[in-house]
Each structure stands twice: as C-alpha cells, then as structure tokens.
Chains A and B, each alone.
Chain A
C-alpha cells in the first residue's frame, strides 16, 4: 500500500474536540445564524415601511428576533435575551394586528436591530455581552415598551383600514382558513433563505486518511499507466487496479458525505439540560440510532426543525414534576430522539412522555383564533385536529415563556422538512406523550431510476413515480391501444389508462416500423396524474446521480436534471408530472374517465379483491372439471397461500397425499393427477440427471367450506397462470351447474367446491372457520 506517512501524521493532530467545546460551537453557530437573521430583518423592515400590510414580512421579522431570543435563553446571554424579549413583545403585538405600522415603529425596530447587532458584535469579539454600565439597553427597552403601549391605543392609523379586512374578529371561519395560507407560505420562503448556511463538513480523520491513501494510489496507478502502453503485459492489470481504486475512492467520498445523525444529537443534552432548568422541569434525553447515516446537506436541512422539535418537547411536552407525580409518572420526563432507516428514508422521531396534546384544547384555541368554525371543529378527527399545530402562529401554550410558546416553530419545522422532500407527522396520546416524526430522504443527489429508451435516446425515469411496467408484445401491439377521440388508452385491469408516447411528445424520430414493434408501458403517477408512458425499451434500473441542468434547459419543463449513465453517456431525467401535464393528462380528481373505474374508496377496493381469481392449470387436459385447456379459477379470497412443495415432502396416508404444513396435517386434493405425472417426470429425469433436485409441486393452500365450518386443504395444481379480477356469470347464462367466471375475456370454470365463496370477503370465510 502506498501510504503517505507525512500527511497521515499531520492529520492525526486534528481530532475532534471534547464535549466541553460544544458550547463554543453553539455560540459560533448562534452568531452566524443570528447575523443572517438580522440581515433578513433589516431588509424586511425597509420593505415593511413601503408595504405595511404584508403579513409575511412581519412574520419574518418576528421569527428573526424570536430565534435570537430562544437561543440566548440557553446560551445564557441575559442582556441579549432581555432586549430581544422586549422586541419580540412589540413584534408580537404587531403580528396580532394590535398595532399599525408607522414610521415611528419602524425606526424603533431599526434601533432594536442595531442594539441586537451591537451585542452580537461584542459577543463575537470578547465572548461576553459586555457588563459595563455603558452597555445598557434600558432606554431602548423602555422605548420599545412605549411604542407597544402607545400605538395599541391609536389603532386607527392610516394603514389600519386595510388590516381590518383580514382581522380575525370580523372574518368568518372560512376566511380565516384561507388567511392561514399565506402565513404558511411565508415559512417556506424563510426556509429557502436559510439553507445556504453552514458549508463546512466535519470528517473523521480516519476517513480522510483513507481518501488520501486512495488518491495516492490513484496517482501511482496513473503514473504507471502513462509509462505503460496498451500492448504491455501489465496493462490489463493496471486498468483493473485503476477501476478498483476509482470505485473505492468514490465510495469513500460518498461515505464522507454521509454523516451520522449523532452529529446533530450531540448538542442536545446540554440544550435540554439548560432548557429544563429554565422551565423548571426534570428532563432526561435519550438517543437511539445515532449511527444512522444521512447526507450532509440533508443533515443541515433537518438541524433547525429538530432543534425546534426538541425545544417544544421539553417546554410543552414534559409536565412540571408535581403534575407528573399526580399523573403517576416517574418524576423525570424523558425526551427520546430516535433515528432509523425505513424504506429509503431516514426517520427521526422526537418522543416525549409528557402530557400529550389535548385536541379539545387545540380545537377551542383554533375556534378562538378563527382558524376553524365550531361546526368544522366538530367534524374533525383527532388526526386532522393535530394537524392544526402546523399552522403558523398557532400555539396552545397557556403562557408565553422565554423559550417558546408564541407559536412559531412547527410551521417552520414542517416547511423546512418538506423542502427537502421529507414529511412531518405528529402523534399524540393525551396523558402519555407526543411523537413528532420526520421522514427525510437518504440523499438528495442520488435517486433510484429506471433507464428507458425512446426514439433512440436514453431517459431516466425516477422510481418513486413508477407504479408498474407492462410489456406489450408485437402481436398484441395493434389491439392493445384503444382510442377515445384523440386520446389513446390502454385497458389495464379494466381501468382505462391514458397513454403518452414519449417519442412523439418529445418530437423524436420514430423508427420506420414503429407500429409493428413491441413496446413497454411504464405506468407512472405523480402529482395526481396517472398515465402510461410508452417507451421502446427498458434498461436496467440504476442509482443515478442527479446533476442540475442550466436555466435554458430547465425552462423546457420536461426534464428535472441529467445524469451520467454507467456507460458514460448522458441521460436526461424526466419530470413525470410535467411530462403528463405537457401531454395534457389531467390530474385524477378532474378526470372522470379514470374516476369511474378507479376504486373510489376502500369499499370498492374490497369488492375488487373479492372478485379476484387465481387462474391455474389443472394437471391433465382431460380433467373432469377443467375446461378444454385445463384452466380453472379459484376465488382469491379462498386461497391463503401459494406454496411450492418438493415432491419428497408429500407423504401418503391411506393412499391419500398429505402434507405437513405449519404443524398440521394438510390433506391434498389432486384432481388432475399432477402428483403422479410429476413423479413420472422425475423418474425419467433422475435417470439422466441425478444431481438435479427433486421436482416440486405447486400447492394452493385453501379454506374449503364444509358442513361444520371450513377446513384447510391443499390443492395440487400444475401451475398458477395468473391472478386477475373476474366477473361472475349468472347461473342462467352459464346454462350448467358449474359456476363460470369471465376473466380477461375468457370464460373459466370456478372450482366447484369453492364456487360459493366467489364474491365473499375473506373475513366471512374466516368466520365460518371459527
């Protein structure tokens, strides 16, 4: 190995700091954040003077000051906190429309801004906020208080007329609902602004050493390749080495980007301790899954939301000790941070064992604030009611404390997480605690995608919008596409799917014999649009690295990015929703054709399941029961499982085949003499190929109704052909005693003993068993 000792030794000096350094870290972070916030505030203040009715601006300014106040609380900068608190009270009055914007108010707020800036500067320079008598904010605080008191009386300033229109007192419930929207939107705007911070990354020295070693190896290999010629003996070996070094290097860089969530958690123990002290609670923080890796950029994105959530959990979640004793809980409350991977997402939960959220109080508050009408509140489910906490400016805290309780927070939490493609949920059990669950994608830059070919070019189709793939062979291509007006449709399990030919949409050349060729339909769904994207061919699914496109190409609107494929060529990434929109596919809610056939709710879905049939082939074509080709149907509701059983596992009792299945003896029904046929096949096969494993029989594990309930039997079949929705035919039409079913336009006989179960839900059958 080609190590670099000089570097390695040099790097080892850099170790990450012990925990006591975290306070300094926090302060540094706080200073950077606050400065950014104040810059935004300055901009907003000047804008507010021109547009006094803009609620978003007020909310933004409020948030900047609130963030400073909230953070100083536990960093222990009392002077800053005092000033920020005074400012916040004034801004709170402004936000609740008890105040009108005036020049005096704006200059007062600008003075506040300067005051805050001065203190921040002192902290940055000296580490303290300055204790000398000259450093006194009393005059400013008094002025802010005066502004608040004075202006609230004279509420009929020049701007108040506009304000009254939207004031909660006068507006009806519906208006209030709409009114909440711009406030939520403002949260998104803030989130977009703050995402640029923190461009540094802390990497384990070991990882960096490894990367350096790999780069060294890479350089060495390159040197050797430069000296070598393609014909040389060791050339292929060098190429192989280059390949492996490159792969390893890429992997280690990716790994370096993945940071354990524990990095985020590190600052919480101290924060929680200080917070708990401030609020007079006993709180312990616990972690789980700290090693869960998350891309650096995403880690940054969830940092603020998570801090908000933890702060909320301590301040609002955990009750004071005496209340906990009364409720029979341990004195010390627990806030648990839990991170884990779940189906391509990282889930971070903030769980507290506090009082939980009272939906009743939530709704009362919402009605009081005019967010919902009493009637609406009546109709809300618990889950819907809990969603109210995500509305901007909504808080159930009974008193405003120095940490939180002004209702900023959860709306920002949600918008920040959604911005990176995640989601937030809240679960709460009154009396036993609240869980806030954030779901964040693993990485922004790499997504699983399916590479498709159309018009001679490759395109990447993100897997998350892909529902299923349908192959249409050449001989069916003509009939498969049906037309309604100009719209081309495909019948997918009896529902009509609008088709979009990718090559036509993009204006690509079609190969001359396109109509005669087979094609694939990628059934995609995004933003409520569901359609079939017709492509020529499918390539392997790949994990693709998303690269942004230039503005000009983004403006086309159909492509969300580009990626370099495994073979080195570029492929454009399709924006599925935009593609559908361009092709004129309307979102489902508006589309009546699709609505009619799509199950509208669970009930219809249930019915569909009841009519689903397992189509199988019985053993012999001359079987007494099957049709000419041995096709039979069995209601899916009667089938528990489809098992593949080795012949050697099948035993005979009294000449009848039985199977030991999950601890019970399962009688096997072999109407088509499949077992005998298989045994014969095996006998001939084993002579020629003795090493092959024994043949297997396919067994449908079914529930058969009998006089005294139902019992489990195994039906031996040749093979299972399909599982598909079928339509039961009337007995008259069938003109025989057999129950017939129409599956994919073919009449198929339903197995006699199970015919009566067709159309019955599984639960009904299970009841019979019991």
Chain B
C-alpha cells in the first residue's frame, strides 16, 4: 500500500479526493470527510452480525464498527492487505470504519468532472454510489460516507441481515 500523497491542486474549485481500490474498481471519497486512515487492521468478527459488517476494532478507546466494502459490492472476502478508513456518523454521533483493499493516493479533482448516478443503475449501486468523477484515465465512483453508515445500511434492507456464506469464507 502506498502512503497517500497530495498532488498540487491546479484549479480553484478542485477538491482533494482520496482514491481507494476495491477489487479492480476505483472509488473516491473527499478527504475532508475522512477522519483517519488506519493501516491494515484485523477487525474482530461479530457472530450473527449482518454480512456487510467486517467486525469491530478498538479505536481510541471506542469500539469501532467496521463495514466491509467488498461485502457491500458482493465480492468475495479477501485475505490480503486491507485498509480501514474512519468516518464520523453525522446522525448518531458514532464513528464507523470502512474496510477497503487499499488507498491509492489523493488527487485533486475538478468539481465539474462529477456526474450524478445514471438512471440505469441497480438498486444496490444506486444506494451505495454518489455519482462518478470523469477522470482522463477512466471513471472513479464517488462515495459518500454518510451513505455507508452501518445504521443506514441496516435500514435500507438491501444488503442482507445475517451473515450468510460470505462471512464464513476464508
């Protein structure tokens, strides 16, 4: 995993976006929304928890519920290195973690490169994604941490309630 590095923003309305890798796809979250990036972490699994809960981590004396983004995308569990990002849940004043495969870096993205979700998306993707940045190299899907809050995921009911086969895979 490369350490995040900030490239110079070259335009006035460019925002720094942290680019993340999950599987083969690239995702971006605005850096101002990220509280902290933890290195590889091994969350403690919680039996009977929804499939998309990777587990709990001890973070600054709190118990941090961590969401597995792979599970949300319906990908197989992965044993390699991972990276946990910490966000503040604005609604419940509770922090939560998001487990991704890795952080690629921080890039400055022009706001006009952002386009809203297209209408053809399936319900799950519509729920998870928050538009996409049209980058020269390809699309980077924008994520809104507030959409990935564990409590919101549970309410949506789209992502299964109890751990199925996924949680037991090695």
Contacts and interface: CB of A to CB of B under 8 A. Distances in A.
A559 B150 CA distance: 17
Contacts of A558: 47-48
Contacts of B45: 457
B56 A549 contact: yes
A569 B47 contact: no
A562 interface: yes
A694 B46 CA distance: 54
A548 B65 CA distance: 11
Interface stretch (A130-138, A367-375, A504-512, A528-536): A504-512
B44 interface: yes
B83 interface: no
Interface of A: 455, 457, 506-509, 547-553, 555-556, 558-559, 561-562, 564, 568-572
Contacts of A562: 44, 56, 63
Nearest to A555: B154
3 tightest A-B CB contacts, nearest first? A506-B47, A550-B65, A570-B44
Nearest to B96: A550
A553 B44 contact: no
Given A569-B44, A572-B56, 7 more contacts: A455-B47, A507-B47, A509-B168, A547-B63, A552-B50, A552-B150, A570-B56
Interface string B135-170: 000000000000000110110000000010000100
A558 B94 CA distance: 20
A553 B58 contact: no
A459 to B, nearest CB: 9
Contacts of B163: 507
B148 to A, nearest CB: 12
A556 B47 CA distance: 9
A559 B49 CA distance: 10
Contacts of B58: 564, 568, 570
28 contacts: A457-B44, A457-B47, A506-B47, A506-B48, A507-B48, A509-B168, A547-B62, A549-B63, A549-B65, A550-B65, A550-B150, A550-B151, A551-B92, A551-B94, A551-B150, A551-B151, A552-B49, A552-B53, A556-B48, A556-B49, A562-B56, A562-B63, A564-B58, A568-B58, A569-B44, A570-B44, A570-B57, A570-B63
B46 to A, nearest CB: 6
Interface string B52-66: 010011100111010
B109 to A, nearest CB: 31
B160 to A, nearest CB: 13
Interface residues of B, number: 24
Contact of A572 (B46, B50, B62, B153): B46
B44 A556 contact: no
B154 to A, nearest CB: 5
A130 B96 CA distance: 52
Nearest to A458: B44
Contacts of B56: 549, 553, 562, 570, 572
A553 B94 contact: no
B72 to A, nearest CB: 13
Contacts of A569: 44
Contacts of A508: 47
Contacts of B92: 550-551
Contacts of B96: 550
Nearest to B170: A509
A553 B61 CA distance: 17
A509 B167 CA distance: 11
B79 to A, nearest CB: 16
A740 B115 CA distance: 90
Which of B56, B63, B151, B168 has the most chain A CB within a 10 Å cutoff? Answer: B63
A550 B49 contact: no
B157 to A, nearest CB: 12
B8 to A, nearest CB: 31
Contacts of A547: 61-63
Contacts of A507: 47-48, 163
A517 to B, nearest CB: 20
Contacts of A570: 44, 56-58, 63
B82 to A, nearest CB: 17
Contacts of A553: 46, 49, 53, 56, 65, 150
A507 B49 CA distance: 10
Contacts of A564: 58
Contact of B46 (A509, A548, A556): A556
B170 to A, nearest CB: 10
A528 to B, nearest CB: 23
Nearest to A506: B47
A548 B64 CA distance: 10
Interface string B81-102: 0000000000010101000000
Nearest to B45: A457
A551 B91 CA distance: 12
Interface in B20-72: 44-50, 53, 56-58, 61-63, 65
B118 to A, nearest CB: 30
A496 B163 CA distance: 33
A552 B53 CA distance: 9
Contact of A552 (B44, B61, B151, B168): B151
A561 B46 CA distance: 11
A511 to B, nearest CB: 14
Contacts of A457: 44-45, 47
Nearest to B94: A550
A75 B42 CA distance: 58
A449 to B, nearest CB: 15
B61 to A, nearest CB: 8
A576 to B, nearest CB: 16
B60 to A, nearest CB: 11
Nearest to A582: B48
A72 B57 CA distance: 50
A550 B44 CA distance: 14
A547 B95 CA distance: 13
Contacts of B50: 552
A208 B49 CA distance: 42
Contacts of B168: 509
B114 to A, nearest CB: 30
A239 B44 CA distance: 27
Which of B56, B61, B62, B163 has the most chain A CB within a 10 Å cutoff? Answer: B56
